[in-house]
């Protein structure tokens, strides 16, 4: 399947929602990401589509008849309080909704001309929309797909043996916790846990002293495979609803004591933050890229993880950024400071390979399931996706313009991720933000 570019990607499209046309918004009419929100003073959750600084209220648009051409089933699903029903269908249906929404929001169509007269009914200012986690996430799996992250972290924990022999064959992952996934803006409380500060003394229980973030991309699953039926690599893209930003908060001191032999547990499951907008796989079509080119000497992936289309188009050209704002910076009105940049093209495994591998034993992936990519780190010093790597496990503190230093996160620190896609011949689209502030331990 080559990336499907159609009229909805045309960079010349303009919306009757003026803020979508300014060239700087993350949400021009070429993007149209899905989210779930609650209107101010109202309880009912509803599906929304971001456009400029507004949210298209899908419930209102469906009730007004603007989606009727999609048929009663999709119209019904767009009035739901979660995206899972729409996700249960698949890419074709998501693409149909995207096409109808594009016509509805365009300045030069009959649907758009009609909708513009009903803007108070159809639009909610983003500033008044309370965003939630965009799907009912049944299962969450976190991968480890950056070879640069795996090598850097491996070198810190196992200097003699940084990259384990399975890494270049197996898309490594672990099953995470869905219940503690929160939407951007939710405060994150510093976790308590068991750590062993000195090898010669017994472990202690207390608040983590090495709290970290991990810059990741999240992938939402659509459609379903029956338990026992793997998803072949050539069909994995059909199961990929879209992507978001994801922060896999990590307590390194808890992690280093608990992770052997079964992997991370309480060091990771106290909170995971996602950005509220799911940028669909279709919106990302102009920004597809070849899969990571393995250096000479690396083994080829096994057959069940090999597909020519995935090799040619399995990557995504997404630029990521991490910003940090401390409590002191907030007090003096200083803006958040950029601390690193990530390139999602640098991942060793594609999302399709992760998805195919996950189901290769017959594991059933269900609509609304979430896959985390693993920390996005590149080869350069400015592209390390967590403080553990950036400060070399605290040995090289980060200096901030405020005069403060950081080895790990302090109470009051606010971490914000941004992500965007930019290419000649395409409209720039973005992911919004994934933000969380650390609160003191209880």
Please report, as ranges, the residues that interact with Ca ion according to CB under 5 A. Answer: 142, 214, 248
Any residues with CB less than 8 A from the CB of 397 and at least 6 apart, and which? 391, 405, 406, 407
Say if residues 283 and 428 touch (Cβ distance below 8 Å).
Answer: no
How many Cα atoms occupy the beta-carbon half-sphere of 225 within 13 Å?
A: 23
Q: Compute the least distance from the CB of residue 126 to Ca ion, in Å.
A: 28
Strand, helix or coil for residue 415 = strand
Q: Compute the least distance from the CB of residue 250 to Ca ion, in Å.
A: 7
Strand, helix or coil for residue 414 = strand
Comparison of 139 and 214: residue with beta carbon closer to Ca ion: 214
Q: Compute the least distance from the CB of residue 344 to Ca ion, in Å.
A: 14
Comparison of 16 and 348: residue with beta carbon closer to Ca ion: 348
Surface-to-core class of residue 369, CB atoms within 10 Å of its CB (0-12 exposed, 13-18 middle, 19+ buried) = buried
Helix (H) or strand (E) holding 192: strand 192-195
Q: Compute the least distance from the CB of residue 153 to Ca ion, in Å.
A: 10
Comparison of 142 and 258: residue with beta carbon closer to Ca ion: 142
Say if residues 438 and 416 touch (Cβ distance below 8 Å).
Answer: no
Comparison of 214 and 253: residue with beta carbon closer to Ca ion: 214
Q: Compute the least distance from the CB of residue 253 to Ca ion, in Å.
A: 16
Comparison of 142 and 414: residue with beta carbon closer to Ca ion: 142
Contacts of 112-116 with C-beta under 8 Å, sequence gap 24+, read 112/15, 112/16, 113/16, 115/16, 115/61, 115/66, 116/16
Comparison of 34 and 431: residue with beta carbon closer to Ca ion: 431
Alpha-carbon distance 100 to 81, whole Å? 20
Active site residue 149: yes
Comparison of 248 and 343: residue with beta carbon closer to Ca ion: 248
> What are the residue ranges of helices labelled H in 55-109?
58-63, 72-77, 84-89, 91-105
Q: Compute the least distance from the CB of residue 216 to Ca ion, in Å.
A: 6
Q: Compute the least distance from the CB of residue 248 to Ca ion, in Å.
A: 4
Any residues with CB less than 8 A from the CB of 170 and at least 6 apart, and which? 357
Alpha-carbon distance 372 to 139, whole Å? 11
Comparison of 81 and 259: residue with beta carbon closer to Ca ion: 259
Task: Report residue 348 as tokens.
Answer: 């060793």
Q: Compute the least distance from the CB of residue 373 to Ca ion, in Å.
A: 8
Alpha-carbon distance 373 to 220, whole Å? 11
Annotated catalytic residue: which of 9, 149, 313, 358?
149
How many Cα atoms occupy the beta-carbon half-sphere of 99 within 13 Å?
A: 13
Contacts of 96-102 with C-beta under 8 Å, sequence gap 24+, read 96/70, 97/67, 97/70, 98/8, 98/32, 98/280, 98/282, 98/283, 99/6, 99/7, 99/8, 100/66, 100/67, 100/69, 100/70, 101/32, 101/49, 101/56, 102/7, 102/8, 102/13, 102/29, 102/32
Alpha-carbon distance 151 to 378, whole Å? 11
Sole residue written with tokens 């200083």: 334
Alpha-carbon distance 227 to 212, whole Å? 36
Residue nearest to Ca ion (CB): 248
The residues annotated with a catalytic role in the active site are 149
């Amino acid at each position: 399947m080559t990336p499907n570019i159609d009229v909805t990607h045309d960079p010349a499209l303009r919306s009757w929602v003026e803020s979508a046309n300014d060239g700087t918004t993350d949400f021009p009419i070429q993007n149209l990401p899905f989210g779930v929100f609650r209107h101010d003073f109202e309880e009912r959750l509803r599906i929304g589509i971001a456009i400029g600084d507004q949210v298209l209220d899908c419930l209102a648009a469906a009730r007004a008849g603007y989606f009727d051409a999609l048929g009663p089933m999709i119209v019904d699903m767009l009035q739901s309080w979660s995206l899972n029903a729409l996700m249960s269908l698949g890419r074709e249906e998501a693409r149909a909704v995207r096409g109808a929404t594009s016509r509805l929001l365009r300045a030069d169509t009959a649907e758009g001309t009609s909708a513009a007269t009903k803007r108070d009914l159809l639009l909610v200012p983003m500033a008044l929309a309370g965003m939630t986690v965009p799907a009912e996430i049944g299962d969450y799996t976190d991968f480890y797909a950056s070879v640069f992250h795996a090598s850097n972290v491996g070198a810190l924990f196992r200097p003699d043996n940084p990259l384990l022999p399975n890494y270049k064959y197996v898309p490594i992952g672990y099953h995470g916790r869905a219940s503690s996934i929160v939407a951007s803006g939710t405060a994150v409380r510093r976790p308590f846990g068991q750590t062993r500060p000195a090898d010669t003394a017994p472990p202690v229980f207390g608040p983590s002293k090495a709290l970290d973030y991990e810059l990741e991309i999240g992938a939402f699953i659509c459609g379903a495979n029956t338990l026992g039926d793997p998803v072949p690599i050539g069909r994995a893209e059909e199961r990929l609803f879209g992507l978001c930003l994801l922060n896999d908060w990590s307590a390194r001191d808890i992690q280093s004591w608990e992770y052997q032999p079964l992997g991370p547990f309480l060091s990771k499951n106290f909170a995971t933050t996602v950005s509220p907008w799911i940028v669909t796989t279709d919106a990302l079509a102009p920004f597809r890229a070849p899969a990571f080119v393995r250096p000479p000497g690396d083994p080829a992936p096994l057959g069940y993880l090999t597909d020519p289309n995935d090799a040619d188009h399995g990557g995504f050209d997404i630029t990521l950024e991490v910003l940090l704002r401390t409590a002191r910076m907030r007090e003096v009105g200083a803006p958040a400071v950029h601390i690193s940049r990530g390139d999602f093209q640098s991942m060793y495994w594609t999302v399709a390979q992760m998805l195919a591998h996950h189901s290769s034993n017959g594991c059933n992936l269900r609509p609304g399931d979430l896959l985390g990519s693993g920390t996005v780190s590149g080869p350069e010093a400015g592209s390390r996706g967590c403080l553990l790597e950036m400060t070399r496990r605290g040995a090289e503190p980060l200096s901030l313009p405020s005069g403060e230093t950081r080895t790990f996160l302090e109470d009051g620190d606010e971490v914000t991720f941004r992500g965007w896609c930019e290419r000649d011949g395409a409209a720039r689209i973005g992911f919004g933000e994934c933000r969380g502030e650390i609160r003191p331990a209880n």
